[in-house]
Amino acid sequence: MLMESLSADNLFTSYRVGSGDTTVVSHLQFTDDTLILGEKSWANIRAMRAILILFKALSGLKVNFSKSLLVGVNVAPSWLAEAAMVLNCKVGSIPFVYMGLPIGGNAHRLCFWEPIINRIKSRLAGWNSKHLSMGGRLVLLKSVLLSLPVYALSFFKVPSGIVSFIESLFNCFLFWSADHRKISWVDCKTVCRRKEVDGFGGKEY
């Protein structure tokens, strides 16, 4: 409501989407993550600072400016640095992560998918597969690993090379042990196929 009031009173110039009958987007919010969108101007910077301080006073919730980022599109770095000093926050860059998704990146480039691949690798690094049976590894694959890429894949089209690499990580975890390499007797599609059709019962991603 505060951001809507600022935009309605022309105290904050929001981002506009489309041409002609445009859609005004001033902010996106989910739980404690807030993304404020507006044009480059010192008036907007002052308005953002004021609205965040007012929000803190009204709600009693502390705004962590040190964890906040100011990101600009086609904005000079010097201007961003000065504006960040006013807001007492850091200067961010594109792409940045919001709600677990990279914003502003190119989904066709392999580096775009590095955070998701790193999340899968970090999970695998914490599991010592030599102490897990085939059934135990299959349960972890179905309940944890296969769910990690689903969120991003619901928004972006993944390159085929990334799909193959993720499948190879899954196959390595399922069929290899920590101290002995085993042969992958079945492919990832069979692992993901339902049990009713002679699969392992994993879910497609």
On whether both 82 and 154 belong to a single domain, the answer is: no
Q: Which residues contact 33 (CB under 8 A, 6 or more apart)?
A: 98, 99
On whether both 86 and 141 belong to a single domain, the answer is: no
The length of the chain is 205
Determine the average pLDDT of the residues in 151-179.
Answer: 79
Q: Predicted confidence band at 79 (pLDDT cuts at 50, 70, 90)? A: very high
The token pair at 107 is 């989904």
On whether both 136 and 117 belong to a single domain, the answer is: yes
The model's pTM is 0.57
Q: Which residues contact 114 (CB under 8 A, 6 or more apart)?
A: none
On whether both 34 and 107 belong to a single domain, the answer is: no
Range of the structural domain that residue 137 is part of: 101-197
| pLDDT per residue as tens digits for the range 19-66 | 777 777 888 877 777 888 888 889 989 888 888 888 888 888 888 877
Supply the pLDDT for residue 81: 92
Q: Of 106, 17, 35, 47, nearest to 71 (Cα)?
A: 35
H or E element that contains 36:
strand 33-36
Q: How far is CA 137 from CA 13, 86, 122, 145, in A?
A: 52, 51, 16, 10
Of the three residues 30, 61, 93, the one that is the final residue of a domain is 93
DSSP 8-state assignment for residue 162? H
Q: Does residue 203 fall inside a structural domain?
A: no
Highest-confidence range of 100-109, 132-141, 157-166, 190-199, by mean pLDDT?
A: 157-166
On whether both 27 and 58 belong to a single domain, the answer is: yes
On whether both 20 and 76 belong to a single domain, the answer is: yes
> Coil, helix or strand for 101?
strand
The number of domains in the chain is 2
On whether both 143 and 182 belong to a single domain, the answer is: yes
In the chain, % of residues over pLDDT 70: 83
